[in-house]
Amino acid sequence: MHESFPTCRTQSFGLMTSTIPASLSSLLASGGGASQEEAWAAFLAAHSRLLLFVARSFGGDHDAVMDRYVALIEHLSRDDYRRLRAFADDGRSEFSTWLVVVAQRICLDHRRARYGRLRSTDDHARNEHATRRQLADLVGVPADLVPLEDRGDLPADEALAARETRSALDAALATLPARDRLLIELRFTDDVPLAEIAGILGYPTRFHAYRRLNQALATLRSALAARGVVSPG
């Protein structure tokens, strides 16, 4: 199957000012009344597709999506478009990226307000353990030390060894630069594919991300070797 690469953007860290889209600047400049309503309608005409896309990404049937969509436009227009004015004041991001992040947060809050927290912490913890185990494998932690979760059925000495391995791994992770830790968390805790990680962190291709990940794992391995958890080499 063909796997598409994310858009390649090199990490520039340039402090550029973003352009405020015309639909937003006319909305914020409109004084109120009919002209403001017209500007708001034009803003929605320009961005409703993106808002709808975010609303849809939270799943559910047509009514659930529309419910979320209405919450989005209500929230964005609240207090004289306070949320949109915040973009204009900050002005760093691409507007569409900013709008996606903001819309996601509104949808998350909306869902929490309605249904409470949906994701089971148990499921999340189980996944996290599975992928942590994979990380341990990769840095060469011996298989008998791998159970990283606290399991009641383990003999006391094995449970102790597992806890020690885990804290050694966490300590070794803490010595890495934040960017490498983020890379590792995305890969081994969140199970995000490398092609996506490359897009998120701005590596030109997934191979660049792969190379960086391997370097970080090598560093982790030597940190663990220095602590005597794994054998060097």
Partner 1 sequence: MSQETSHLSSEALAAFLSRRVGAPEAAAIEAHLAGCPSCRAELTAAHRTGARRERPKRVATRMAAAAAVLAVVAIGLRSPRADPTSAGPVFRGPESGGVVSTVAPSAGARVARDELRFAWAGAGPDYLYRVLVLDSAGAELWRAESSDTVVTPGADLRLVPEVAYTWYVDALGPSGDSASSGPISFGVR
| Interacting span for partner 1 (CB under 8 A) from 130-138, 145-153, 179-187, 217-225 | 179-187
Nearest 10 degrees: Cα torsion 101, 135, 221, 147: 130
Minimal distance, residue 216 CB to partner 1, in Å: 11
CA–CA gap between residue 91 and residue 117 (Å, rounded): 32
- Name residues contacting partner 1, limited to 98-127 (CB under 8 A): 98, 100-102, 104-105, 108, 124
Q: Among 8, 22, 29, 66, which residue interacts with partner 1 (rule: CB under 8 A)?
A: 66
**Angle at alpha carbon of residue 109, lines to 199 and 41, rounded to 5°:** 80
| Interacting span for partner 1 (CB under 8 A) from 138-146, 155-163, 182-190, 215-223 | 182-190
Minimal distance, residue 106 CB to partner 1, in Å: 9
Nearest 10 degrees: Cα torsion 211, 214, 126, 200: -30
Q: What beta strand segments (E) does 54-182 contain?
A: none
CA–CA gap between residue 110 and residue 107 (Å, rounded): 5
Q: Among 82, 114, 126, 179, which residue interacts with partner 1 (rule: CB under 8 A)?
A: 179
Site string for partner 1, 125-164 (x = CB under 8 A): ----------------------------------------
